[in-house]
């Protein structure tokens, strides 16, 4: 096999120092992305730093009402956590809509943030792919691009979707990513964490070389809000979203007072739809309002040969989610 050095870290600091600033080093958490991609020879680390022994398994409520999630909290543990289920339903639902029980039991919070794309041209090791081999081109743009390719945030260099459901919910909730690196600790706004492909799709996130995610801290839940994740796909389970929406709203009577909307399956990164939110705020919760917001959310979308349906599908993910959410009794006050 391709040889790599393996080290088990006992502290974040030790992990960071073992990892160093090499591009060829990788942190190992649940391994559901890294080990898969190593096995198919797409990722070829020469140093693997196992961080599974780090003490990053807690979900804590901070004094300011925010919720701090340790990097190693599994998707299952996060989805089943009482506070997450009650205060951040959209996140719990997003997690449970992803992958399978077995994968969720292994996959971690930080690992999910770092999930790589599912584009077959990235994964085949042969086709042109600017992520895998910068400057080689993008085989997907004129290739087969139905299910795991984006219509928002694409560039002429890459059109792969970010595959995570969890991240879509986090983009709607608002969060910061705490990292520790060679230069110490810092926080990155969640919406700035994932990068658009632009002309450098190999750069997928805002981490500097060697930086390790230690926590994701969710903004305090919006008071009296209701939230929901709606994922649309071909089969009913174990498939990446063709389009999904994470929606959080607060209502005063039938007027929308606050709205957060993020989209999955359609964007090259977890896609926060600020303009759509603005179009909802202060408006009556009617289908016309939802439809208008949905159209705004998908404005500027670029369809490709096989994924043009994602434009109306993305709109449907927003409209139906808002329709259901605004129609239901507030679960926390009932």
Question: Applying CB under 8 A, does 46 fall inside the site for another protein?
Answer: no
Question: Applying CB under 8 A, does 311 fall inside the site for another protein?
Answer: yes
Q: Give Cα separations from 329 to 1, 136, 308, 317, 318 (angstroms).
A: 57, 53, 35, 20, 19
From 16-24, 45-53, 121-129, 268-276, give the range in contact with another protein by CB under 8 A.
Answer: 121-129
* Cβ atoms of 162 and 268 closer than 8 Å: yes
Q: Residue count of the chain, please give it.
A: 334
Instruction: Return the sign of the alpha-carbon dihedral for residues 78, 82, 88, 93.
Output: positive
**Residues in CB range of 142: below 8 A, 6 or more apart:** 305
- Closest distance to another protein from the beta carbon of 332 (Å): 25
Separation CA 74–CA 30 (nearest Å): 8
* Cβ atoms of 284 and 254 closer than 8 Å: yes
Question: Applying CB under 8 A, does 6 fall inside the site for another protein?
Answer: no
Which of 89, 313, 322, 325 binds another protein (CB under 8 A)? It is 313
Q: Which is nearer to another protein, 100 or 255 (CB)?
A: 100
Question: Applying CB under 8 A, does 118 fall inside the site for another protein?
Answer: yes
Question: Applying CB under 8 A, does 238 fall inside the site for another protein?
Answer: yes
Separation CA 180–CA 175 (nearest Å): 17
Q: Which is nearer to another protein, 18 or 227 (CB)?
A: 227
Q: Which is nearer to another protein, 57 or 323 (CB)?
A: 323
Tell how strand 67-70 and strand 212-218 pair up: antiparallel
SS3 at position 164: coil
Which is nearest to 30 in space by CA: 2, 61, 59, 57? 57
Question: Applying CB under 8 A, does 139 fall inside the site for another protein?
Answer: yes
SS3 at position 71: coil
From 210-218, 264-272, 277-285, 309-317, give the range in contact with another protein by CB under 8 A.
Answer: 309-317
* Cβ atoms of 121 and 128 closer than 8 Å: yes
Question: Applying CB under 8 A, does 2 fall inside the site for another protein?
Answer: yes
Token couple for 280? 């909802």
Question: Applying CB under 8 A, does 84 fall inside the site for another protein?
Answer: no
Which of 64, 82, 223, 236 binds another protein (CB under 8 A)? It is 236
Separation CA 220–CA 239 (nearest Å): 30
Q: How many CB atoms lie within 10 A of CB 50?
A: 16
Question: Applying CB under 8 A, does 106 fall inside the site for another protein?
Answer: no
Q: Tell me the site size for another protein, rule CB under 8 A.
A: 40
- Closest distance to another protein from the beta carbon of 159 (Å): 12
Beta partners for residue 250, in sequence order: 225, 258
Which of 47, 57, 76, 316 binds another protein (CB under 8 A)? It is 316
Question: Applying CB under 8 A, does 1 fall inside the site for another protein?
Answer: yes
- Closest distance to another protein from the beta carbon of 67 (Å): 29
Q: Which is nearer to another protein, 138 or 177 (CB)?
A: 138
Separation CA 151–CA 251 (nearest Å): 31
Question: Applying CB under 8 A, does 288 fall inside the site for another protein?
Answer: no
- Closest distance to another protein from the beta carbon of 285 (Å): 16
Which of 54, 78, 141, 297 binds another protein (CB under 8 A)? It is 141
* Span 194-233, contacts to another protein by CB under 8 A: 230, 232
Tell how strand 47-50 and strand 25-28 pair up: parallel
Interface residue list for another protein (CB under 8 A): 1-2, 41, 118, 120-121, 124, 126-127, 139, 141-144, 146-148, 230, 232, 234-240, 242, 303-305, 308-309, 311-313, 316-317, 319-320, 323
């Amino acid at each position: 096999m391709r040889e790599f050095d393996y080290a088990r870290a006992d502290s974040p600091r030790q992990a960071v120092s073992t990892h160093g600033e090499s591009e060829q080093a990788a942190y190992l958490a649940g391994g559901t992305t890294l080990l898969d991609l190593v096995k198919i020879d797409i990722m070829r680390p020469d140093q693997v730093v196992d961080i599974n022994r780090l003490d990053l398994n807690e979900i804590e409520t901070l004094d300011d009402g925010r919720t701090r999630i340790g990097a190693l909290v599994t998707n299952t543990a996060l989805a089943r956590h009482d506070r997450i289920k009650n205060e951040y339903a959209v996140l719990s639902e997003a997690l449970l809509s992803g992958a399978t029980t077995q994968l969720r039991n292994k996959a971690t919070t930080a690992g999910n943030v770092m999930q790589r794309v599912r584009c077959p041209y990235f994964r085949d090791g042969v086709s042109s792919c600017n992520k895998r081999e910068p400057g080689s081109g993008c085989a997907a743009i004129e290739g087969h691009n139905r299910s795991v390719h984006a219509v928002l945030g694409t560039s002429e260099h890459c059109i792969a979707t970010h595959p995570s459901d969890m991240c879509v919910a986090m983009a709607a909730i608002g969060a910061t990513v705490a990292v520790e690196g060679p230069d110490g600790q810092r926080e990155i706004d969640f919406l700035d964490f994932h990068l658009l492909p632009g002309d450098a799709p190999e750069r997928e996130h805002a981490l500097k070389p060697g930086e390790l995610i230690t926590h994701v801290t969710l903004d305090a839940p919006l008071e009296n809000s209701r939230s929901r994740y709606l994922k649309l796909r071909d089969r009913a389970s174990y498939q990446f979203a063709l389009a999904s929406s994470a929606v959080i709203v607060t209502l005063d009577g039938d007027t929308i007072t606050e709205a957060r909307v993020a989209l999955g399956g359609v964007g090259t990164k977890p896609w926060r739809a600020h303009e759509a939110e603005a179009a909802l705020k202060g408006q009556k919760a009617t289908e016309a309002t939802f439809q208008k917001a949905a159209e705004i959310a998908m404005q500027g979308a670029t369809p490709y040969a096989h994924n043009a349906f994602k434009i109306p599908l993305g709109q449907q993910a927003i409209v139906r989610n808002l329709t259901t959410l605004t129609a239901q009794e507030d679960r926390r006050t009932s």
